[in-house]
Chains A and B, each alone.
Chain A
Amino acid sequence: MKRQLGVLGLTLMMLVVLDLAVAGILHLAETRGAVTSLVRFFEYGRSVPGKLDRWIENPGLKDSLFKVAWLPAEMDKSAQRFRDEDAGAGPVLRSYGMSFSGRILNGAKKADPELSFDLHGGPAAPPNLVYEAFLRDQPNRRSGDIAILGLLSSSVSAMSAMSNRTWNFEQPAPLTYPVFHLDDANTVEGGLRAVHPLVESMADELALREDPQAAQDWAAQLEAEDALYVKAAFYWPGLDASPFVRLVRRALAISTIQDRKRELIQNTQDYDYPEVLRRMIGQFARSARADGLIPVVFLIQSRQQGDPDLLAIARPVLDADDIVYFATTEHFDPQDSSGFQPDGHYTRTVDAMFGEALIGTFERAGIRYRK
């Protein structure tokens, strides 16, 4: 037994030595500005508060997502762009979505340079962020424009989350958005009841540092209302000093979040996301039409296996409300990995093909998309 305990003790000692050596190498690499993918790999394991602190303390960091896509700021920018627009320049495609929808529109613009569009949204935006952005942008609508609601299959599992910080552990952009629940009593227009986050803007987020009670309330709200909140991602940020702990945290947080996402997609009893999605689409179309806009829905199926089939979910409401849609699966098989970049986006060639197909969709539907 003594010998075995000796081996165990020595192993733990070696583990500490190894951890210190790795920490030293990472520190050296960072101070010399050699931020390799290996250094980033270890950075990904920091706790969410640890990452946010690092971004706040070092605003110049290239990988910082702290300022990205906060809704109030996005809406201010949208209002500014709207004011600057030439109202007589012809219809504008007002797209609410994420990089995927922006890339499709860029492809369409290449096919027809006269097309003009305006992008709103955030990184890997889940449908609740996209829908909320559309609702908040209501003052910036002009009759005859085209409103695009971009839905991404891999983000559907995050529909019951309040912030990218809970479900995108490696890149936890802190932007926030409401979670929508079915309102079967039909007291709210569209049949969806929103639970808004206590933190809505970057200023709110920064203010938490001065107000421990508000920080506690916000943490409590995330734990209670955000289905993808995982303690392993948030607790004991002090342990971030150890690269080994960061690796363990990363493994734990990512696998727990992925398990939760899978559970949310497979089990709709607790959160009926297909019905929530259908109501979002229905209300989006009604609201857009009421303001004289033409509603179009983008159904973007990403590469990930196990994603819900967006077209199958949305089909009933698209047919019933006669909504024009553009489904990527009708133009490219998402199982064909040759159509994807390593970062998960479609390749430029596929995006260009989507762009041309989108213009074809507009033409077939008789939608005037340019002057």
Chain B
Amino acid sequence: MLFTELRFWAFFAIVSWLYVVLPHRWQNRMLLVASYVFYGAWDWRFLGLIVFSTVVDYLIGIRLGAEDDTRRRKILVSTSLAVNLGLLGVFKYFGFFADSFQALLAMAGLEAGPITLSIVLPVGISFYTFQTLSYTIDIYRRDLKPTRDFLDFALFVAFFPQLVAGPIERARNLLPNIALPRTLSWDAVGRGAVLCLLGLIKKVVIADAIAPSVNAVYANPSPSGLDIAFATWLFAIQIYCDFSGYTDIARGVAKMLGFRLMRNFAQPYFAADPQEFWRRWHISLSTWLRDYLYISLGGNRGGRWFTYRNLMATMVLGGLWHGAAWNFVLWGLYQGGLLSAHRAFAGRHDRVGEGQRRSLGSWLWRLLAVGAFFQVVCYGWLLFRAQSFAQIVEFTSRLLGGGDRAYLSMSMPSVPFAALLGLVFLTMWDLLVEMTGDVQFYRNCYLPLRAALYAGMIYLLAFGSTSASSAFIYFQF
């Protein structure tokens, strides 16, 4: 059930109606059932996995809360880690490691029979696994008290708006929101509806319409250098619109029900350096990696080289989180390398920036830095989007002028006009958010102007909703 399908909105209408008529405790029970129905619509067989993960972490949470013995606490948190990462390992990474092991043996001249099991990847497993892990780790660190209400905890794990592609919520944010009665307001419904509208424009008008052009170039055995450059720029836009579009709809739907989900994107392509980028891109994952991996590895406490090592390890694992493939590992290495390099040179750069912050020169410098860093990010997206290591090498060589086709010849299918219109709209929107520092800048507008903006957004959505909707990219992670 996709957010872009009518049946999701029919489902949401029924859930909303029940939500309004039920008292708080029953609201939560109904939401839990609805969340399982939502997930079951993908593949009911995987419901057992969520329930298993929920039961294990609920019980471990309670035991951890009651336990003072350090050794036993360690065993408990390790059990939670082993179970959750074990599930991920089996369902997401088994095939990858088995294939890699086989390839390694083959390189050593040894032959191994096929050891790949036919395992289907359960949708959203990376998201809910990280969410439940943060719960037990927070209790272990004594940052959080365990909940005794199983149904509340089950809803925390399975809450349908963010179940399959985040944001990866923290228990300390979402659990109180579940446990305490929520106030429903027309104002929240209105704000949620605008978020949903914005998310649908990003996904349907832009991301889905751009996808065929990107796919054509990445499936092409011999594209030109310019094809690759354009397709990779477009993929940067596609993945941002696809993923942030999903998050906007998830947050909008949750907001209408009285929940507050965290912001996951903050105009990431306005970043001028890697550190800033990761403060703006997939915030719920980057903060998760920072809090539970980077800091656990020692963070920046062990000197410069340890910091670099920790950054590399965190980003490689972050890359691997996205999928069981070597290009994600390479992407993680690239991001880790960028962060380490930035850390090594950041001091001088920041000093220059600070001295010129309010001058015209500083704005131009910032504009230049944002533009240049966007190219750096885009190369990362090439690593991310490529289907094989060989394609990365081939495309990189063609980008640098190699290959059998004239660099400037273009064969990429053109992008629909509506997508370009949507892109102009989104750029304006993000610029206004960036300049005002207010994600709801539109609420300060004169009322008729606001209504005209909403009407324009609805018209734009209809104008661009002609391509067949495809699944969100991040569902595969």
Binding site for B on A (CB under 8 A): 1, 3-8, 10-15, 17-19, 22, 37-38, 41, 244, 247-248, 250-251, 254-255, 258-259, 262, 303, 305, 333, 335-340, 342
Contacts of B417 in A (CB 8 A): 37-38, 41
> For chain B, which range describes its interface: under 10, 10 to 19, 20 to 34, or 35 or more residues?
35 or more
A7 to B189, CA, bound (A): 12
B455 touches A18 (CB 8 A): yes
CB contact under 8 A between A18 and B456, given known A258-B468, A335-B219: yes
CB contact under 8 A between A4 and B454, given known A251-B465, A254-B466, A336-B222: no
* Contact indicator per residue, chain B 191-224, by CB within 8 Å of chain A (1) or not (0): 0000000000000000000000001110111111
A10 touches B221 (CB 8 A): no
Nearest B-chain residue to A12, judged by Cβ: B455
B40 interfacial contact with A, CB 8 Å: no
B414 touches A342 (CB 8 A): yes
A18 touches B220 (CB 8 A): no
A4 touches B411 (CB 8 A): no
A-B contact pairs, 7 of them (CB 8 A): A10-B447, A15-B459, A22-B459, A335-B216, A337-B223, A337-B411, A338-B222
Nearest B-chain residue to A6, judged by Cβ: B447
A336 touches B462 (CB 8 A): no
Contacts of A1 in B (CB 8 A): 186
B469 touches A255 (CB 8 A): yes
B-side binding surface: helix, strand, loop or mixed?
helix
B452 touches A14 (CB 8 A): yes
Contacts of B412 in A (CB 8 A): 337
B409 interfacial contact with A, CB 8 Å: yes
B190 interfacial contact with A, CB 8 Å: yes
A18 to B468, CA, bound (A): 26
A255 touches B468 (CB 8 A): yes
CB contact under 8 A between A15 and B455, given known A254-B468, A255-B468, A337-B217: yes
A-side binding surface: helix, strand, loop or mixed?
helix
Closest 9 CB pairs of A and B: A338-B411, A251-B465, A14-B455, A10-B451, A4-B186, A258-B468, A247-B462, A15-B455, A11-B454
A248 touches B189 (CB 8 A): no
Contacts of A12 in B (CB 8 A): 455
Residue of B222, B452, B462, B467 touching A244 (CB-CB under 8 A): B462
Contacts of A303 in B (CB 8 A): 216
Residue of B223, B224, B227, B454 touching A14 (CB-CB under 8 A): B454
Nearest A-chain residue to B462, judged by Cβ: A247
B448 interfacial contact with A, CB 8 Å: yes
Question: How many A-B residue pairs lie within 8 Å, measured between CB atoms?
Answer: 99
In the assembled complex, how far is the CB of residue B22 from the closest CB belonging to chain A, in whole angstroms?
20
Contacts of B463 in A (CB 8 A): 247
Residues 401 to 424 of chain B near chain A (Cβ within 8 Å):
405, 409, 411-414, 417
B405 touches A338 (CB 8 A): yes
Residues 16 to 49 of chain B near chain A (Cβ within 8 Å):
none
Contacts of B468 in A (CB 8 A): 254-255, 258-259, 262
Nearest B-chain residue to A41, judged by Cβ: B417
A338 touches B447 (CB 8 A): no
Residues 310 to 349 of chain B near chain A (Cβ within 8 Å):
none
Contacts of A37 in B (CB 8 A): 417
CB contact under 8 A between A244 and B459, given known A14-B451, A255-B468: yes
Contacts of A339 in B (CB 8 A): 411
In the assembled complex, how far is the CB of residue B110 from the closest CB belonging to chain A, in whole angstroms?
34
* Contact indicator per residue, chain B 167-188, by CB within 8 Å of chain A (1) or not (0): 0000000000000000000110
A6-B447, A262-B468 known; 18 other A-B pairs, CB under 8 Å?
A1-B186, A7-B454, A10-B448, A14-B451, A14-B452, A14-B455, A17-B455, A18-B456, A247-B465, A248-B462, A251-B462, A255-B465, A335-B216, A336-B411, A337-B412, A338-B220, A338-B222, A338-B405
A254 to B462, CA, bound (A): 13
A8 to B216, CA, bound (A): 41
Nearest B-chain residue to A335, judged by Cβ: B219
In the assembled complex, how far is the CB of residue B36 from the closest CB belonging to chain A, in whole angstroms?
25
A72 to B217, CA, bound (A): 42
A7 touches B466 (CB 8 A): no
A171 to B7, CA, bound (A): 28
A174 to B226, CA, bound (A): 41
Nearest A-chain residue to B448, judged by Cβ: A10
B141 interfacial contact with A, CB 8 Å: no
A13 touches B187 (CB 8 A): no
Nearest A-chain residue to B450, judged by Cβ: A7
Residues 460 to 475 of chain B near chain A (Cβ within 8 Å):
462-463, 465-469
A11 touches B217 (CB 8 A): no
In the assembled complex, how far is the CB of residue B10 from the closest CB belonging to chain A, in whole angstroms?
14
Contacts of B223 in A (CB 8 A): 337-338
B458 interfacial contact with A, CB 8 Å: yes
In the assembled complex, how far is the CB of residue A219 from the closest CB belonging to chain B, in whole angstroms?
23
A11 touches B451 (CB 8 A): yes
Residues 429 to 460 of chain B near chain A (Cβ within 8 Å):
447-448, 450-452, 454-456, 458-459
Residue of B186, B413, B454 touching A342 (CB-CB under 8 A): B413
Nearest A-chain residue to B458, judged by Cβ: A15
A8 to B456, CA, bound (A): 13
A11 touches B447 (CB 8 A): no
Contacts of A248 in B (CB 8 A): 462, 465
A335 touches B462 (CB 8 A): no
A6 to B468, CA, bound (A): 34
Contacts of B405 in A (CB 8 A): 338
Contacts of A258 in B (CB 8 A): 468
A22 to B455, CA, bound (A): 13
Contacts of B187 in A (CB 8 A): 3-4
A214 to B224, CA, bound (A): 56
Contacts of B216 in A (CB 8 A): 303, 305, 335, 337
In the assembled complex, how far is the CB of residue A340 from the closest CB belonging to chain B, in whole angstroms?
8
In the assembled complex, how far is the CB of residue B215 from the closest CB belonging to chain A, in whole angstroms?
6
A7 touches B451 (CB 8 A): yes
Residue of A5, A11, A247, A337 touching B455 (CB-CB under 8 A): A11
